[in-house]
Structure 1
Amino acid sequence: MEKTMIYIELIFLIISSILDIKYRKVSIYLTFIIPMLLILISFVLYPNAEIIIRCIISFVMVVLSILFLIVTNIGGADCLIMIIMPLYIGVNALYAILIAVIVSIPYQMLVLKKHKNKEYPFIPFLTLGYILSLYQF
């Protein structure tokens, strides 16, 4: 079941990345409600104490994401995805987000140098961080 959830999250991230790049807008259903329903269903069908730990990590991510949203030009969907990631991959979500931030820095320095206050798609970086964290850890 664990791998199924990881693949489902990866599909959500890829679809969200495409929407974020193309429209700079991602549906709340895609980023939050559908994954939360899948988590709830998996918890009911396969009760596991690890889910509780992942929920606690997600709560911490909520707080960090809100702070991150306040000080950057990151959008709300990006923060929602950062909140959902720990539910699928646990602590590795922190690595995925760290990788995403590190990989996005050159993009910010080169592309956004011309447009200082322009929002940019961050979900593709989160997707890349997610994939790399799965293979790394």
Structure 2
Amino acid sequence: MTGETDLKILISHMRPMLDPEPYVFCTFANRTFEDLAEYAPVALFAETEGTTAILPVERARELGLADAEWFRRITLTVHSSLEAVGLTAAVAGALAQEGISANVVAAFFHDHVFVPAERADEALQALRNIADLDK
């Protein structure tokens, strides 16, 4: 498995990066991954109740779904292993202390944290603070 597993290194080397694009979480009972691919999802997840898609707001608007709560994505630009322990907890804990919800998606190279759009700058600063404190 590639990627870093040491929590101290992960936190001290993470450089949270805020994506300028707003996103919405949507669910579809009767659409396939193939159906949703044309809407440029950043993530798709199959659940029992339906398919969850994280869509750019402009693409969600095409489906009449842009009125859902908007989120911004913060990418933790450190190559974390899928076997790393504690990074999600540390990030969620730092955001919880600020009263900011965190929806974490772990991809192969990086973790991505979706936070309410109106709190994105605060969330970014909170994550930068834990990275700085851990040095």
Q: TM > 0.5 between the two?
A: no
Greater share of helix residues, 1 or 2? Answer: 1
**Greater Cα radius of gyration, structure 1 or 2:** 2
Q: TM-score, normalised by structure 1?
A: 0.29
Query: What is the TM-score of this pair, normalised by structure 2?
Result: 0.29
Which is richer in strand? 2
